[in-house]
Structure 1
Amino acid sequence: MAISERRRQFGLSLLVSALMASAPSAIAQELPKVLVMGTYASELPSEELEKLDPLREGLEKRLAALGFPIKIDIVIFPTYEEAVVQVARNKVDFARMGPANYVLVKRQNPGLKLLAMETKGGAKQLTGYISVPENSPVRKLQDLRGRRIAFGEQNSTTGRYFPQAALVEAGIFASDLSGYRFLGRHDKALSALAAGSFDAAASNEVSFEKYGVVRKFRVIHTMKSPAHAWVVRSDLSPLVMEKLRQAMLATTSAELSGLKRDGMSAGSDSEYEQVRQAMKTAVRFIE
């Protein structure tokens, strides 16, 4: 073998060795010690934390098994609006967003990536209800004319946009009611209905099962929406995002029991087009 050829191969060997030696340090520099998970309080903040803690533990274990020993902290924003603002500003690494809030946050920061969608029985779907007391004479949406309705938060999918869109499609507008209010959370809307302050309330299925069923509230309208979205900040390392996606898609039903979900699935932005249309229709409620 010519001396020049031996030198070339020796040089290539040194280059490969150098790259292999530098790879772990490059990954170490890219690997954060902590990831911050964000969401908002649709019920009491302490209850939201309790529901998410099993998922946090599961994600930490799976990330460690993938060679990424990262600690996860949870931040519960007090309002939907604050969550949208902070997630859009990349103030958390990944976040759980309701369907309408996903649409809103993507408007502010199109660079956010959809990590996964929650599932129940294999369906990427969320259910909400408009309910009334058991002895109420109200049987359908049209019967709410001249009555009072309690909504949740102004940016809520099942607490505002979908119920208001349903009312508009039924020919009921704000001016047709004797009153309505946004009470900030699903549980508060149902509690106000129980107290007799309102004739009907809009809520998601989780709060209804917890607070509505025991009070024997009767459902007069059911709403179906795309499920909650999990997004990652626009500038998160692609390597970390891919490992987080793998850990998220392997989530167990036990880890999601508090959220009344049983799995995670890949999703696409186009699956939220139904939400965008409902939000446009809901705007007409106050015309």
Structure 2
Amino acid sequence: MFRIVSRYLPVPRCVAQLGIVAMVGWLVALPMAAQADVTLTFGTYAADKPTDTVRKYRPFLTFLADRMSVDLDEPVTIKMKIAKEYDAGIDHLATSEVDFARFGPASYVHVMDRNSEIQLVAMEAKNGGKRFNGVIVVHADSDIHSLEQLSGQSFAFGDELSTIGRYLAQSHLLEAGISSAELQGFDYLGRHDLVGEAVGAGRFTAGALKESTYKKLVAKGVPIRVLLSFDNVTKPWLASAEVSPRIVAAMRRVMLASDNQETVRQILKNGFLEGTDDDYNFVRQAMDQSRLF
């Protein structure tokens, strides 16, 4: 009769304990030997076609990741998350589903109402300043030449949370004595390009959109012209409440560095300036006024 004998010899308990301690020490020390990569998610919403939105931001985000990698001395990777609608984009930043974002001014006001710990990284610069234009347009052949003449007509707005596409446009209509009661009808079409195309097709008498989108549509042959041009404040770049100050500071240094400005303008067509919450006060006033629309 044979007995099966184990090939493994018993290890003294004290030696096993020492081995466990040594292993734990090695595991704890390992992450400290090299810094982890930084992965960030950039979020925004599609004010125009989503494919155009990706094409617009990807070159700058690549540049930003490269320069932040040098600044932080560790690899930085930036992913993108594009929301189809404004409210979804606002929710993504308010709940830290994305790490940083580029918003319109009204969306900034809304997200700050949702989460006051949102961090303002920088503001875009347009021709060296903090203002750019929105427009109210009519058909190229329209005989309307003032906002007052829109009484009894139809109007196309953008998204219900859009600065230009809703709040500022409604504020200017109210100043001209036009509220929703004076219009034959109105609707919210979402994207700026859809507003311009709807007016060009004769489905609405007038509509509000970004000046840059207006110029693109006219270049494509859409028959619209400007009825009114008005000021808007430039867009903020924001970081979620959960992004560390170290990362925000690095992002801000890259955006505001004087030796980066020319490259940034070439890629993004805008530079950056330091911004404060007060820069958006006149948008808050327009949002309050639009409640009377």
Alignment TM class, shorter chain as reference: 0.7 to 0.9
Question: Do structure 1's residue 215 and structure 2's residue 212 form an aligned pair?
Answer: no
Instruction: State the 1:54 CA deviation.
Output: 1.2
Q: 1:265 to 1:68 in 2, by over 3 A?
A: farther
- The percentage of aligned residue pairs carrying the same residue is 35
After TM superposition, list the pairs within 5 Å mapping 1:1-287 onto structure 2. Answer: 25=32, 28=35, 32-66=37-71, 67-212=73-218, 214-250=221-257, 252=261, 255=264, 261-285=269-293
CA distance in 2, matches of 1:275, 1:121: 20
For residue 186 of structure 1, report the CA deviation from its aligned partner: 0.4
Distance 1:82 1:75, change over 3 A: same
Asked if the contact 1:41/1:77 (under 8 Å) is kept, the reply is: yes
Contact 1:253 1:262 in 2 (8 A): no
Amino acid at match of 2:211: E
Equivalent-residue separation in structure 2 for 1:156 and 1:74 (angstroms): 21
The alpha carbon displacement at 1:256 in A equals 5.1
Cα drift, residue 126 of structure 1: 2.8
Q: Contact 1:55–1:256 at 8 Å: present in 2 too?
A: no
For residues 81 and 210 of structure 1, what CA distance do their matches in structure 2 show? Answer: 26
Q: CA deviation at 1:218?
A: 1.7
Conservation of the 8 A alpha-carbon contact between 1:126 and 1:228: no
Whole-Å Cα distance in 2 between the matches of residues 223 and 27 of structure 1? 52
Q: TM-score, normalised by structure 2?
A: 0.84
> Which whole-Å CA distance do the structure 2 matches of 1:166 and 1:143 have between them?
13
Q: TM-score, normalised by structure 1?
A: 0.86
What's the secondary structure of 1:54's corresponding residue?
Answer: helix
Q: CA 1:254–1:139 in structure 2 vs 1: closer, same or farther (change >3 Å)? A: farther
Q: Retained in 1: the 8 A contact 2:140–2:200?
A: no
Deviation at 1:205, TM superposition (A): 1.6
Q: CA RMSD in A?
A: 1.9
After superposition, the Cα gap between the structure-2 partners of 1:256 and 1:151, relative to the gap in structure 1 and judged at 3 Å, is farther
**Do 1:52 and 1:256's aligned partners in 2 also have CA atoms closer than 8 Å?**
no
CA distance in 2, matches of 1:171, 1:243: 48
Are the aligned partners of 2:60 and 2:267 in contact in 1 as well (CA < 8 Å)?
A: no
SS at match of 2:229: strand
**Which structure 2 residue ranges, 5 or more long, are not aligned?**
1-28
Is the 1:36–1:72 Cα contact (8 Å) retained in structure 2? Answer: yes
Task: Please give the alpha-carbon distance, in whole angstroms, between the structure 2 residues aligned to 1:167 and 1:239.
Answer: 44
2:63 maps to a residue whose letter is G
How far 1:151 moved relative to its partner?
Answer: 0.7
1:237 Cα deviation from its structure 2 partner? 1.1
Contact 1:54 1:255 in 2 (8 A): no
State the AA in 1 paired with 2:273. Answer: S
Q: CA deviation at 1:68?
A: 3.3
What amino acid is aligned across from residue 59 of structure 1 in structure 2? L
Q: Distance in 2 between matches of 1:217 and 1:194?
A: 5
Is 2:199–2:224's contact at 8 Å kept on the other side of the alignment? no
Deviations 1:212-239 (A, max 9, x none): 4543422111121111010101121111
Contact 1:51 1:256 in 2 (8 A): no
